[in-house]
Amino acid sequence: MRKRVEARPLSKTLMSAIVSSVVAVAAVILLILLSFVLFLLLDSSLFSNLPVRPYSYYIIGAISASAVLLVVSLVFLFRNMESISYEAADRKVVQNEIIRTELAQSEDVVMKYLDEGEKEIYSLLLDAGGTLLQRDITSVKGYSKATITRILNRLESKGAIERMRHGTTNQIVLKRVSKKISPK
């Protein structure tokens, strides 16, 4: 069974930006076509039996109108793009704040289920930005390699970390807290 994806409504600002860009593209195409027609009208022998002057005024007027339309649509487009970038920046700030709050709460939850050695290594990983080499953990904490391996095995089984091969050692990476972490 296929999942139904809900369509999100486009914001007014984004719709205005799309309309402005379509109008700008149409104005450019109109400018190019009218300029080409004016060039043919003034420089071609195809229209030798027509009075060229009245038609050229109409075409020059149309070129001027499409140039004004292009400028106006570009002004609206750039104003809308600025608003869209502000909206995106605000949304990013809110998302970062939510993530920070969730991580702070999740660290407390994780710490409740860890024993003393696991808490020390977990805190060390937090302080290091979430990733460390296993040999660096051994040198910092003063535990034996076997003790560090056992503690890391327990943390990995609780879903708090992930080990990835890195040369002759492992790179230890904190995982996002999930419901897999369970009591001792």
Overall average pLDDT of the 10-37 stretch: 83
Q: pTM for the complete prediction? A: 0.41
| % of the chain residues with pLDDT over 90 | 1
pLDDT at position 176? 62
Average pLDDT, the chain: 77
**What pLDDT does residue 99 have?**
60
The architecture in CATH of the region 113-174 reads Orthogonal Bundle (1.10)
Higher pLDDT, 86 or 73: 73
Q: 131: which strand partners?
A: 173
Judged by phi (left if over 0) then psi (alpha if -120 to 50, else beta), residue 108 lies in: alpha
| Residues in Cβ contact with 181 at an 8 Å cutoff, skipping those fewer than 6 apart | 109, 110, 113, 158, 159, 160
d(CA 92, CA 113): 32
Residue with the bigger pLDDT between 150 and 175: it is 150
The pair of structure tokens assigned to 5 is 């994806």
175/48 Cα distance (integer angstroms): 79
> What is the residue extent of each domain of the chain?
12-105, 113-174
Least confident of 1-15, 35-49, 93-107, 169-183: 1-15
Q: What is the pLDDT of residues 5-23, one digit of tens each?
A: 444 556 777 788 888 888 8
